[in-house]
Amino acid sequence: MNLADSVESLQGIGPKRAEILKKAGIRTVRDFFYNLPRDYENFQAAESIAEMRPGKVVIKGKIDSLSTRRAKRRRLSITEGVVRDSTGAVKVVWFNQGYRVKQFSPEKEYYFTGNFELKNGRYSLISPSAAEVADIDPKNGLSPVYVAHGALKSHDFKRLVANSRSKFSEIPDLLPTVKPGTRKNALFYAHFPNSLKSAQNARDYLAYEELFELILAAKLNRQENDKLKAEKIPFNAAKIKEFVAKLPFQLTGAQRLAAWEIFQNMEKDTPMNRLLQGDVGAGKTVVAALAAYAAALEGRQVALLAPTAILATQHCEGFSRLLGAFGVKVALLTGATKKKSELKKQIATGGIDVVIGTHALLTDDTEFHDLSLVVIDEQHRFGVEQRQKLLLKSPDGLAPHLLAMTATPIPRSLQLTVFGDLDVSILNELPKGRQPIATKILTEVETREILYPKIRETLSQKSQIYWICKAIDDDPRTETTSVKSRAAKLARDFPGVEVEFLHGRMKPAEKDAVMERFSRGEIQILVSTTVVEVGVDVPNATLMAIENAESYGLAQLHQLRGRVGRGSKASFCYLLTSGDARPSQRLRELEKSTDGFHLAEVDLKLRGPGEIYGALQHGALDLRIATLSDTRLIHRAQEDVAKFLKNPENMVKYKELMSGITKYQQITTLN
């Protein structure tokens, strides 16, 4: 047996099942073994049917009279049967689980566990899980439960794993271990536990293994980065001081510290690899501008990559305002830029110091004279290949210093593992004078009663409003209101008020024109899709309404909300919900807190690391087993990785490990 072989090499898995497994991401024998149960059921405490009380029960018996019928509601099927033991009989019911009819044979004995409750005037056992008595170890009564994939249900996985039971002994260790065979035992006991404790220990080991891989990947990235050479950018204290003194505001302590950390990195001939994290509105731009100024002072070039034309334009205006007076030449390069080839010539000959742009920066014919610093705003919006394209535009043999910025706060536990080896600067202090954004969930009825008066008040104070909608066009199948109809409706409801809409399918020039007019205060209400999500800065906007708020993730809502509260005036955010379901915990958390770091922790708990990570990096961190909240395991893995790296022979010896971590290396890198 070879772990890299296709699952089809396992007994009981043919092309059809292999296809289903492939869709679930289970391609190899290794994937198959690592597809751990999601839970364990305990059938040990089976009671007799006569003694059952309402609530969760476990019984043991034979089943007959199985049949499936359609309910009056078209999409529901009901499968029923009768389970008997020596003391009595009970009706069992499953919904939309037609396969149950074929699962059981009338001669065999099964365990059933589920809720015994009153349904339609009669006590029945509702949607129980089941296991064949012969399959369950009588000593512990445990039965693993697998996630179903297509036609492969939990009991199918159980059977397939049982078929391969003898193969476990052939699994080699992945990592150096104190006791040889730790890995195969862990995998075995995860699938065939002796006790819940043994299953938990097994999972702990496998989680540790996974964290080890992740942390090793991050460390190797660091080593690779440290081998690269960059141009030193000396720190010119006098000039920087002068620049800071002329800013229209005082830098916060966090901004000063971040800038200082950046200057320190850029003075070295190893490329900087720094992530600048700061909640929305924390003031990342001026920190980036300071770094750019330091480079420009030395006659070096800087590129700033932004995910949208709107953002690039705003950055260009901001940078020009901050740096123009100091003789730094700033230019914008987006798809809509006119006289592109002329600008590109200037960039190639060093006539421009700071080039700010979108994907247009990445094209092959954009060449730099001496690119020494790359700033990537909202870095998770770009894939590894895109970031690489820009980084390779440095002079031959040199890598640019890299400053990646993100407004998505990274929970501490994630930072320890994935980002443990990155240099991170955190802006955890908002500029002075900011007021927390008052946030409130509104039902449909309340929308008119509360939001409309608030809109009138905001307009009378000459402040501006964002109204966020889900859809661009009306769709008769859903009830979501599009930006277009919402804008039309608001224009009718507020006569004389300038209402405009904005969405991602508009031409860049049209979008820029609308944003421009909104920035200048010529538009009072901007109805928009989430294109305004990142970075857009209009401090005079103080009210935001988010329609269909329940359809967005926590991080995204927090980002959206950050478009207001950017000036000194009090700001408000209303989360509009439809229907009468109780608001989700996400929305309630958002109502309670405006602290992005806190919300990131909450989000991590609610959604798990995969999702969060997806929002941070382009590409998903697919942890199968480990949870990033286990700091004890994380620390252990960190220590062991450090030991592992001390012996270079390990990299040759542990082949499976080294080849398996390339996927993690891709996602734990900034460059």
Residues that bind Mg ion (CB under 5 A): 535
- Candidates 357, 535, 596, 609: give the one binding ligand ADP (CB under 6 A): 535
* 596 forms part of the interface with ligand ADP (CB under 6 A): no
User: Whose Cβ is closer to ligand ADP: residue 198's or residue 425's?
Assistant: 425
Q: How far is CA 313 from CA 497, 513, 542, in A?
A: 26, 11, 22
* 326 forms part of the interface with ligand ADP (CB under 6 A): no
- Candidates 90, 407, 414, 465: give the one binding ligand ADP (CB under 6 A): 407
Which of 348, 322, 314, 343 minimizes the C-alpha distance to 331?
343
* 565 forms part of the interface with ligand ADP (CB under 6 A): no
- Candidates 431, 565, 596, 609: give the one binding ligand ADP (CB under 6 A): 431
Q: How far apart are CA 602 and CA 575, in angstroms?
A: 18
User: Whose Cβ is closer to ligand ADP: residue 90's or residue 403's?
Assistant: 403
Name residue, tokens 């499976």: 656
Binding segment (CB under 6 A) for ligand ADP, from list 94-102, 176-184, 263-271, 277-285:
277-285
* 283 forms part of the interface with ligand ADP (CB under 6 A): yes
Q: Which does 655 bind (CB under 5 to 8 A by kind): ligand ADP, Mg ion, none?
A: none
Contact 141, 44 (CB under 8 A): yes
Helix, strand, coil share of the chain (percent; to 5): 40, 20, 40
Q: How far is the CB of 277 from Mg ion (least distance, A)?
A: 12
* 307 forms part of the interface with ligand ADP (CB under 6 A): no
Q: How far is the CB of 281 from Mg ion (least distance, A)?
A: 8
Contact 416, 218 (CB under 8 A): no
Which structure tokens are listed for 294?
A: 């330091």
Q: How far is the CB of 405 from Mg ion (least distance, A)?
A: 7
Q: How far is the CB of 489 from ligand ADP (least distance, A)?
A: 31
Q: Total residues contacting ligand ADP (rule CB under 6 A)?
A: 20
- Candidates 537, 601, 603, 640: give the one binding ligand ADP (CB under 6 A): 537
DSSP string, 557-601: HHHHHTTSS-SSS--EEEEE--SSSPPPHHHHHHHH---HHHHHH
Q: Which does 609 bind (CB under 5 to 8 A by kind): Mg ion, ligand ADP, none?
A: none
Q: How far is the CB of 529 from ligand ADP (least distance, A)?
A: 20
Residue whose Cβ sits closest to Mg ion:
535
CB atoms inside a 10 Å sphere around CB 342: 10
* 378 forms part of the interface with ligand ADP (CB under 6 A): no
Q: Which does 278 bind (CB under 5 to 8 A by kind): ligand ADP, Mg ion, none?
A: ligand ADP
Q: Which does 614 bind (CB under 5 to 8 A by kind): ligand ADP, Mg ion, none?
A: none
Contact 637, 426 (CB under 8 A): no
Site for ligand ADP in 225-254 (CB under 6 A): 249-252
Q: Apex CA 128: angle with CA 124 and CA 132, to 5°?
A: 120
Site for ligand ADP in 487-516 (CB under 6 A): none
Q: How far is the CB of 670 from ligand ADP (least distance, A)?
A: 18
Q: How far is the CB of 414 from ligand ADP (least distance, A)?
A: 20
User: Whose Cβ is closer to ligand ADP: residue 280's or residue 355's?
Assistant: 280
Contact 473, 529 (CB under 8 A): no
User: Whose Cβ is closer to Mg ion: residue 405's or residue 487's?
Assistant: 405
User: Whose Cβ is closer to Mg ion: residue 411's or residue 535's?
Assistant: 535
What does DSSP say about strands 88-95 and 122-132: parallel, antiparallel, or unpaired? Answer: parallel
Binding segment (CB under 6 A) for ligand ADP, from list 283-291, 411-419, 455-463, 513-521:
283-291
User: Whose Cβ is closer to ligand ADP: residue 210's or residue 279's?
Assistant: 279
| Enclosing H/E stretch for 427 | strand 423-427
Q: Apex CA 628: angle with CA 624 and CA 634, to 5°?
A: 105
User: Whose Cβ is closer to ligand ADP: residue 414's or residue 534's?
Assistant: 534
Which of 523, 573, 525, 524 minimizes the C-alpha distance to 552?
573
Binding segment (CB under 6 A) for ligand ADP, from list 42-50, 119-127, 275-283, 548-556:
275-283
Which of 77, 88, 82 minimizes the C-alpha distance to 65?
82
- Which amino acid is present at 154? S
Q: Which residues are CB-neighbours of 193 under 8 A, at least 6 positions away?
A: 40, 140, 142, 144, 199, 202
Which structure tokens are listed for 584?
A: 């989700």
| Enclosing H/E stretch for 403 | strand 401-406
* 409 forms part of the interface with ligand ADP (CB under 6 A): no
Q: Is 305 left (phi over 0), alpha (psi -120 to 50) or beta?
A: beta
Q: Which does 408 bind (CB under 5 to 8 A by kind): ligand ADP, Mg ion, none?
A: none
Q: How far apart are CA 547 and CA 478, in angstroms?
A: 14
How far, rounded to the nearest angstrom, does the alpha carbon of residue 440 sit from its chain's CA centroid? 25
| Enclosing H/E stretch for 287 | helix 284-297
Which structure tokens are listed for 132?
A: 């064949």
- Count CA within 13 A, CB hemisphere, residue 46: 23
* 285 forms part of the interface with ligand ADP (CB under 6 A): yes
* 612 forms part of the interface with ligand ADP (CB under 6 A): no
User: Whose Cβ is closer to ligand ADP: residue 343's or residue 437's?
Assistant: 437
Q: How far apart are CA 326 and CA 328, in angstroms?
A: 6
Contact 425, 258 (CB under 8 A): yes
Q: Which does 431 bind (CB under 5 to 8 A by kind): ligand ADP, Mg ion, none?
A: ligand ADP
Residue whose Cβ sits closest to ligand ADP:
283
SS3 376: strand
Binding segment (CB under 6 A) for ligand ADP, from list 235-243, 533-541, 597-605, 659-667:
533-541
User: Whose Cβ is closer to ligand ADP: residue 283's or residue 409's?
Assistant: 283
Q: Which does 282 bind (CB under 5 to 8 A by kind): ligand ADP, Mg ion, none?
A: ligand ADP
Q: How far is the CB of 613 from Mg ion (least distance, A)?
A: 21
The binding site for ligand ADP (CB under 6 A) comprises: 249-252, 255, 278, 280-286, 407, 431-432, 535, 537, 539, 566
